Structure 1
Amino acid sequence: MRSLMKRIELSRMDESDSWERFPFFLLASGVSRFVFLLGCLIPTALCADGVQSGSITSVTVYPGFANVERTVALPAGESGNRILQLGPIPASLRDRSVRVSTEDGIQVLSVKVRRNSGDPVEPSKLRELRKNVEVAQQSVQTLQRKEETLAAMQVRYEGLIPEKPGKETSGPLSLQAWQGLTDLILRGIDTTSIQRQQLVPQLREARQLLEQLNSELQQLNSKGQRSQATLEVEVLDGQGAGGVFRVQYQLPGATWKPAYDVSVNSQTKQLLLRSYAEVRQWTGEDWPAVPMFFSTSLPESGAEPGDLAALIIERPRFLPPAPVMSPRVEPMTKKGEDFDRGLSINGNRLQQPPKRSESERYSGRLVDTAGVDVFGYRGGANFLLDDRGFLSIFESIYADEIPANGAIQRRLYSISTFPYLGDHRCIPELKEAIFRRLKLTVTGQDPLLAGPVSVFVDEDYLGVTSIAKTVAPGEELHLDLGVLDHIKVTRTTEESEETRGLLSRVIEYRTETRLRFENYGNSAETFEVLEHIPVTDDELISIKIDRGLSQPGPEEANSAAGLLRWPVTVEAGKSLEILLVWTMQIPKDKILRLRPAPERLGDQ
């Protein structure tokens, strides 16, 4: 037994000695060769840094879109292919709009957009906010019902006042009964009035709280916390030194429109015009105080050509002509019966060729959550902005934050000074009043877009007018400033008709228009009066002004449109009258039809 144990120990010692004598360098060299071969077969892994948010450095707002630029730094690292991750970004960004620019020495290989729907369970903060909104709504409804009940009680008390004794009453009402009933009614009215007054601040606070909670809920939903995107930019960094990247992308849910403030200095005859951009955005990300631009054009969406839409030709366009019918059958077609085919006839479809409607061209009319009408098109929404084709870009003078809550934010982008001329005009046929206007010539390189104008005269607020149509540089702008309330305008018209001639019988229509102006002010006023008479291209119809009876005689402002003009000055405390007499002669067998002709007026 002992000999057996010795043999086992000797064998173990021999095995250990054999392992010590084994050439391990052969095994190490084989492993290194295997690792080298594996490295040749497997591609090199990309070095990816963590997700960076970067900094928003500029924003350009278009009609319906916003172009956001972020600056992000790629730190120094290993040389070769690397991945730059930028996020989180609202998931609504347009993939084709992403553009990446960087420094020399770094090449951008590819850009990927990865969207994450997030947790399918609604966040606890959002659920709690929804509950608070429901509680606030119930509170507002309760207070509104209480206020309606008190208002009904007050009306009920007011209706209890007895009527005076008359024939229908059985007998006179005693003074004591009147006094008791009056005390009861007044006491009830006072009680309900006090309760309603106490209810007003509670109702106001409840409505403000509900509005605030709804705004927070809308902002939380618009930020898209459950649906976000991340940009993965693969770059080739040959030296591994890193660099700075500028990433641009477009987001729907932003718009702007122009608005103006005008300060009129009546002493220096100078007008100070401040141009603002009323910006609204619900893109899902808040914009910090960075340079902001406002463009009238549509945003670029890449270098690829646009898509052609298919045209559908409808059958009604090629219907055969109507068959020739006898006088007996022809009146029956007015009832909508087609005797040849047994089909109903739609006269409008036969007379008017089919045309592509706005809904077909723009893929339907859309209305956003804030109540702004837009036209939807493939890839986005086009908010209506009157620019007359001018592609202009305005830059905000001051940088300020714009949250993504859909509220209107005013940003100043231009300050200009113009000399102006005052003008008073009266068009009695449209309105018996004298309108004040300012005339100025637009200078500079940028147009004045159509929009509302708030007017201040000598630091006093006058009211709101508008620029109806975009004014180009070099054109004249007219601003309406209300009416002269100390001048009374009266317009009366008398018409008569008479048949003249024995052989060539004609009908003469005679019109007398009398205008009266009364100045109740302390100074004389000079203004322009405009009237118009009809015009015709028919040589058989004669329209003339009786200059012998018309006092004073008018000046022809536009003969093609029939516009007449009088320069009028009315002294303080006095009145002035204008008489216009004109006649129109037509053959008796003629039938007149009045048609507006705006093409004759031009810009007037």
Structure 2
Amino acid sequence: MSTEELEKQPLKEEVKQDEGEEKPSQKKEISIPDCTVHSVVVYPDRAEVTRLVTVDLEPGSAEVVIKNISKSLDKDSIRVDGIGPASVTEVSFQEIAVTEEEDSRENASAEVTELKEKIKAAEERKEKTKQQMDRMTAQIELFDKYSTGLFSAGGQTTTNDLLDQKTIDGVFGYLETFEERTVRLRVDKDEVNSDDLSTARELTKLNTRLYELQPLLSKPSEPVKQQVIGVLLDVKSAAQIQLLISYVVSNAGWTPKYDLRVSSSERTMQVTYFGVVKQSTGEDWLNARLSLSTATPSIGGSAPTLETLKLTIIPNLNPQLRGGTGKKKSRHSGFGFGEESSVIEAPPSKVSEGLINSVFEISTPTNIPADNSGHKVHVAQIDLKPTFEYDTVPKLAQHAFLRAKAVNNSQYPFLSGPSNVFLDNSYVTETTLASVSPNEEFGCSLGVDLSVKVVYKPVSRFREETGLFSKTVVYKYKQVTEILNTRSEPAVITFTDQVPKSEDEKLKVTLLEPVIAKQKQGAPSPNPKLNSQNNVEWRLELGPGESRSVTIYYTVEFPVNKEVEGLGL
């Protein structure tokens, strides 16, 4: 059966036949909820749904009308394919008038009349129940009052007001039957109370349904429009025809989520990859073959066009007329850059890789209702062999943070998303896993390891003045950090600390210790080194029980009559 694309034409109120055109000899109407979901491909911001429509047709022309389709459907995305002795001659997307509106209003009116009668009967039952409850309550109170009056709080007989002394023997007979009668009354009261609650719940349901029908009764008589897909077929012989109708809907998408479980004793990392699917298309995807695609159709398929950046000289106007102060502007001013700112296990999915995206085929059929709630599906479980290192920034936190590093040796690309991190079966934190391609290295922090101790000692600062005519001030700063590895195995630690960076030619900063070697082309980065933030970064290897003293020593020199911002003087 051939595939016919949707005709790009204005929406029509109803299906019309051209003059002289032969009407289809047979017509089948099917509602979308009655069509089996064949497959769903979910993108980050939309989804492509394919439904299976099965119809029995006789030879000749036929029209299949698909009703109750999603309001978020993209009409230009409809495709039809299928199996059977027939060919598709036309596919259309139309708006038709719903002719059953008057019948629906009449049915609603009849239902309202029936509801009102049921509500009246329920209210009468509830009133009778209330009266019965009141009588039982009064009887129980009378028994309680009569019994309480027989004896005073101190145990003395006070029956003169209620009984004649001659009939005192009757009291004992009463006491024998009192408990039995009051228990029976309380049981009967509980049963009546239960009936009352049932009646109240029934009234709530009846009134809710009555409220739901009111808008339908108050609607104007103008026709209601419904979107439908029409498929015209030329059937060669009598047979059961299977149509695969595909369309793209918005209000759907998926995001990644991960569980990272690390075992420090076994030196393993297990990444459980989930996809969280949400949709509010108005159609439930039941028992669907689900696929998650990493493609992003909303970004577009072509690179943007870069326009010419044109510069012009600003006329030399009077600073007061320009609203300025006459002072020199930032070097970026006038170029449009702005001013500089300060500082559960399941079978793994199958992966299909295209040139620019991947598709994860979920192994088990899935139900995704149109409730706009997140539904987690299992993509894969990946076992990795990590290495462990430590990071410490003692100026901000005197701790060593354990970090696991691993290479994604699977065929699954990791998209950026939230991740729950577990270390030795204990929850550590929630973090964000950055995008990781296959065969790319990534890392995640596992929290503080107290077995690596870090002590950031108070800074030593010395001041001196130099020069005869143009005096300058020189401050010498010395910062010492002690690091101790108390573990029974070696530890690799990346130590980071600040060294000031001068933003003025009159201000000179000289790093004396450690000595930073110059980077040679093609050679590995020196250790220690200055990173992109001008901070000292030092990779240290400490053996079991080994300690290391790390010293940062630098001088700051500037004219004696100047003040320095950020030096903490």
TM-score by length of 1: 0.56
Confirm whether residue 321 of structure 1 aligns to residue 286 of structure 2: no
Aligned to 1:168: none
Counterpart mapping for 1:273-292 below 5 A: 273-292=271-290
Q: Deviations over 1:26-69 (max 9, x none)?
A: xxxxxxxxxxxxxxx95432133321242111111112211100
Q: Which has the higher strand share?
A: 2
Summarize the Cα distance change of 1:332–1:324 in structure 2 as closer, same or farther, 3 Å threshold.
closer
- Partners of 1:57 and 1:69 within 8 A in 2: yes
Q: What's the counterpart of residue 101 of structure 1? A: 81
Q: Please state if 1:230 is matched with 2:213.
A: no
Count how many residue pairs are aligned between Structure 1 and Structure 2.
398
Give the aligned CA root-mean-square deviation in angstroms.
Answer: 4.7
Aligned-partner Cα distance in 2 for 1:581–1:244: 79
For 1:474, the equivalent position in structure 2 comes to 439
Q: Out of 488, 493, 511, which is 1:544 matched to?
A: 511
2:417 is the counterpart of 1:424: no
SS in 2 for 1:351: coil
Alignment match, 2:555: 583
Unaligned runs of at least 5 residues, structure 2: 1-18, 116-203, 213-223, 339-354, 516-525
Structure 1 residues 512 and 73: alpha-carbon distance in aligned structure 2, compared to 1, 3 A threshold: same
Alignment equivalent of 1:258, drawn from 247, 256, 259: 256
One-letter amino acid matched to 1:429: K
**Greater helix proportion:** 1
Match of 2:242 in 1: 244
Q: Is 2:528–2:539's contact at 8 Å kept on the other side of the alignment? A: no
Instruction: Report the counterpart of residue 58 of structure 1 in structure 2.
Output: 39
CA distance in 2, matches of 1:301, 1:443: 28
Whole-Å separation in 1 of the counterparts to 2:497 and 2:363: 46
The 2-side partners of 1:259 and 1:295 are apart by: 15
Quick one: which of 15, 19, 26 aligns to 1:48?
26
**Equivalent of 1:498 in 464, 480, 489:** 464
- Structure 1's unaligned 5+ residue stretches are 1-40, 129-208, 218-225, 338-346, 356-388, 549-553, 595-604
1:459 aligns with 2:425: yes
Written as runs of structure 1 = structure 2, the 5 A alignment for 1:51-450 is 51-52=29-30, 53-79=34-60, 81-103=61-83, 105-115=85-95, 228-241=226-239, 243-299=241-297, 321-325=314-318, 330=319, 333-334=322-323, 351=334, 353=336, 391-450=357-416
Structure 1 runs (4+) deviating above 6 angstroms are 120-125, 317-320, 347-350, 536-540, 587-594
Gap change, CA 1:283 and 1:349, over 3 Å in 2: farther
| Residue matched to 2:161 | none
TM-score, with structure 2 as normaliser: 0.59
Residues 462, 323 of structure 1: alpha-carbon distance in 2 compared, 3 angstrom cutoff:
closer
Secondary structure (helix, strand or coil) at the match of 2:272 reads strand
Contact 1:517 1:570 in 2 (8 A): no
- Alignment correspondent of 1:512: 478
CA distance 1:324–1:93, change in 2 (3 Å): closer
- Counterpart of 1:44 in 2: which secondary structure? coil
What amino acid is the match of 1:475?
A: E
Query: Which residue identity lines up with residue 459 of structure 1 in the other structure?
Result: N
